[in-house]
Amino acid sequence: MNVRFTVLLAVLLLCSACVSHQGRSDGQTLPVADHDYAVFTEQTYSPADWPETLGADVYVPRGAGPFPAIMLVHGGGWREGRTRSDMNDIARRLARHGFVVVNISYRFAPEYRFPAQLHDLQQAMHWIHDNAGAYRIDSERIGGFGYSAGAHLVTLLATVSEGDELDQPHGGAETRLGAVVAGGLPSDLRKFDSGKLVRQFLGGVREEIFSVYAQASPVVHVSPDDPPMFLYHGSWDQLVPVDHARDMYSALQSADIDAELFIDHSRGHITMFLFDGDAVSAGTDFLVRQLPANERE
């Protein structure tokens, strides 16, 4: 085995407990039932006249329900190359904890630029409400979970207030989320110096369209009516530096939003996603607390 790889693996194992977790009320993992579930693949959620047909895989716990639901959104720099299947492991974890999981696809840059992707998530939320009965969803308990670009989109959806410019024309009350888990979150796109991914997503360099960079930044939209949020990040992240998570956490605290910040001091952007067990477990506990089980379940 390569010596360098062996040393890196040893460091990761030694640092597996090197985390900081701010904002949590206690360190206990909540006891939950291990639900069996069914999966309905390739469900089309986009309207018939949408520019691109978009699908979702829906994980439904067995039982009477109604169950809380999570819209799950994958990462990948807002561009083609990653798919919703990247989130299958997280979807299964959430379904076993009694959540209906709607694991969605969305349109990619540069063919489709911001705010097209936000519009996709808004349409997905309308579809979830429209189909709540079919999938035994409690429409009063819908959260969001995303990583990287997916975290950006979910968090932007959660922070855009009703009546905001970005809330038109596809938003509204049905697109509000009850809780959010966001990993590797790029919370402030103004911090990126017109890198290729952000430039393709927003359609220009920062100096030319600074107002768009600001409008697309979740941290700009934080307000007291935002839902509770759990943020997790790797302190070694070079693609999306950890200050994005810290800035977002501070903004949420200033707005008196219930928030938690989980920092893993042995992970980068990719390794945080690949080896995310502790963070996802803590985030799942957060969702269980924020979107508690119905007595009928």
Residue 63 in domain: yes
Of the candidates 297, 198, 275, 210, the residue with the CA atom closest to the CA atom of residue 240 = 198
Q: What are phi and psi of 165, to 5 degrees?
A: -55, -40
Number of compact structural domains in the chain: 1
104-119 per-position pLDDT tens digit: 999 999 999 999 999 9
For the residues 65-91, what does the mean pLDDT come to?
97
Residue 3 has pLDDT above 80, yes or no: no
Residue 191 in domain: yes
Residue 19 in domain: no
Residue 228 is part of which domain span? 33-290
Residue 6 in domain: no
Q: Lowest mean pLDDT: which of 11-15, 24-28, 253-257, 286-290?
A: 11-15
For the residues 187-216, what does the mean pLDDT come to?
94
132-178 per-position pLDDT tens digit: 999 999 999 999 999 999 999 999 999 999 889 999 999 999 999 99
The better pLDDT of the pair 36, 3 is held by 36
| Mean pLDDT score of the chain | 91
Residue 14 in domain: no
Residue 2 has pLDDT above 70, yes or no: no
Q: What is the pLDDT of residue 295?
A: 52
- State the pLDDT confidence band at 292, using cuts at 50, 70 and 90: confident
Residue 177 in domain: yes
Residue 7 in domain: no
Residue 210 has pLDDT above 90, yes or no: yes
Residue 76 has pLDDT above 90, yes or no: yes
CATH of the domain at 53: 3.40.50.1820
